[in-house]
Amino acid sequence: MEQTLLGGRYQILRRLGSGGFSRTFLVSDLHLPNHPRCVIKQLKVQDKDTGTLDMARRLFGTEARVLYQLGNHPQIPALLAHFEEKREFYLAQEYIEGSRLSRQIEEGKPWSETRVVLLLQEVLEILAFVHRQQVIHRDIKPSNLIRRHRDGKLVLIDFGAVKQVSTSPLMDAETGATNLTVAIGTHGYMPNEQYAGKPRFSSDVYAVGILGIRALTGIAPQKLDEDPVTSELDWRKQAPSVSSSLAHVLDMMVRYDFRDRYPTAQEALEALQNLPNSCQGLIGNHIYQTWMKGAHGLKPMLSGSLAEATEVDEASELTAVIKDPDSTSLFPLDAGFTNGHSPEGVLPQATSSSQRVNRLGFWRRPTVMASLVGVGMLAVALWQSGLTVAFEPKTSDGMVAFQSADPPDLALNLGMLLPPAEKVVFLTDQGDSLLKKGRYPDALGLYDEAIQIKSDHAPAYLGRCKTLIALKRPSEAIVACDDALAYSAYYPDAVRSKGNAEEQQGRLLAALALYEQTNQKMPAMSQAWVDRGRVLQKLGRSAEAIEAIERAIAYDRDSVEAWTVRGEATLALKRYEQSILALEKALQLDPDHEPAIALRQQVRQALGR
């Protein structure tokens, strides 16, 4: 088999993993320039009778559809292709170079509370996106989370056990329960209802809570005691110093009865972000930046050559595992500095309070010059150390909100030292962050710089398209979106953004066609349904607009725009009571939403109120 090209294009380099139902291989794609590496997952079908093959096709087809749907998220591997060959089934997926979280969460080595909060937040942010696409992962565990080398971010892998609840005719709309009758998951991370074959969104929340408890206590979930009366996990005695607020959130995540848990990852994330001492106010919510170990002085070196990839005996592992698990590791930057000593010998011991490193990596400063010198020394030390840095505010009393220092410049300056391939990703991510903050000219500059380095980097063109739309330059935006689609054929977000640009120019039928195309490519993208409904309403097709908006609300009930458009469409059809209800819902979500306020006033006038 090693001498055969899979799918006529993939040359096997080595086996990466093997489990009960699948094998994974590191391969080269001979159809693309420079023969880039990717990972092939092969479904192992033991019994090849017609019934078994049909079932295998359905399972693999489901996984492929979900991966296509989710793969545009930057922390979920993209699906490159899927095919059947000689009654064998294959997925070709993005190659993720990094270290599994299971190598960092070690038995008997509990993490700090700050570190656990950051981990939970990052995992829940990814999972909230997954749940918004109406997908239950069902196998959240440390080995399915990869700390990616190029940027230090977590990547969620292995969607072989997913359940797409939006396609289930027997789904309970209130609870998210499905009609699945087979228990799939990992012992210790599976809640009661998942064992019974009835997973919910809150089943994933349970698994993330167990992940946090494992990191906080250093104890495997199978070894945690249960209350003999309530069946609740009795874990707090293993972490006696944990704050009551974090302990409460974790307890809510791992309740025995699914009805007592946070219903989806989004609610759990919001609870975590509302902790009294949460890590808020950083760039986004936190910054992860990875520095690889240097070969010569300060020169970074990419880890994970082919010789370093090693086979793992674990099913559905869609990543190469690097032999050196410490080449990236999460390191709370301020740990130890409040006590006047440096962690793990990375930085020299502080000699006075004015020289200690503060929470965000700046020297406490008697002068501006001392601050700048501290930043430079810190950057050099971190680069040499090969550690992943988590910039996290913290005091000896616990975590506090960032209030004064300005980390973006530090992060940007450190990012500029990355090798070109990593720098392109870094610049695009920074551009996305600035775009969300409304700093459009700055974002545009970073996207342009990324494109100068790598002229076929589709995400930078998409960012450029969105920024130009925000700047009311739709004709230029269309060119940027076309460039993104030229370099990435399957890019629903670029299709939708091009529709936004066409709509901005008043070309409503062209925009509608693009929104419909987006709906076909990625049905779970709720905003594309909102866009479609909005344009249909502009065209006077109110009944069709309501149908589109109903689809949008089914995926995202908290979309202010969706409820507002519904209110406008029902008003046009003189369904006044329905219109009032929709607009009240919009204003419940955002009391200051001016379009909803104006429409509600129109409805009241029509009703004589």
Distance CA(527)–CA(20), nearest Å, equals 39
Count CA atoms within 13 Å of residue 24 on its CB side: 28
29 is catalytic: no
Distance CA(145)–CA(211), nearest Å, equals 11
DSSP 239-260: -TTS-HHHHHHHHHHT-SSGGG
Q: How many residues does the chain have?
A: 609
Question: Could you tell me the strand order of the sheet in which 88-94 lies?
Answer: 5-6, 10-18, 22-29, 37-43, 88-94, 79-85
Which pairs with CB-CB distance under 8 Å and at least 24 residues apart come from 42-50?
42/88, 42/89, 42/90, 43/88, 43/89, 43/90, 44/20, 45/87, 45/88, 45/89, 48/87
Question: In which residue are the tokens 């087979």 written?
Answer: 182
Q: What angle do CA 51, 135, 485 make, to 5 degrees?
A: 100
Q: Residue 53 carries which side chain, given as an amino acid letter? A: L
Question: In which residue are the tokens 């996984």 written?
Answer: 63
Q: Residue 172 carries which side chain, given as an amino acid letter? A: D
- CA dihedral (50, 51, 52, 56) positive or negative: positive
> Tell me, what DSSP letter sits at residue 66?
H
Q: Phi and psi at residue 41, in whole multiples of 5°?
A: -105, 125
> Tell me, what DSSP letter sits at residue 404?
S
In sequence order, what are the beta bridge partners of 163?
Answer: 136
User: Roughly what angle, to the nearest 10 degrees, separates helices 492-504 and 458-470?
Assistant: 20
| The two structure tokens encoding residue 465 | 């398209």
Which pairs with CB-CB distance under 8 Å and at least 24 residues apart come from 56-64?
56/89, 57/84, 57/89, 60/84, 60/89, 60/91, 62/162, 62/164, 63/91, 63/159, 63/160, 63/162, 64/91
Distance CA(341)–CA(352), nearest Å, equals 11
User: In sequence order, which residues have a C-beta less than 8 Å from that of residue 114 and are 6 or more positions away?
Assistant: 279, 332, 392, 394, 399
Distance CA(141)–CA(451), nearest Å, equals 36
| The two structure tokens encoding residue 53 | 């093959």
Closest CA to 97 of 328, 401, 346, 364: 328
Closest CA to 466 of 434, 422, 489, 488: 434
- CA dihedral (533, 535, 538, 541) positive or negative: negative
Q: Residue 263, exposed/middle/buried by CB under 10 A (0-12, 13-18, 19+)? A: middle
Q: Which of 139, 432, 483, 531 is flagged as catalytic?
A: 139
CA 393 to chain centre: 22
Catalytic residue numbers, as ranges: 139
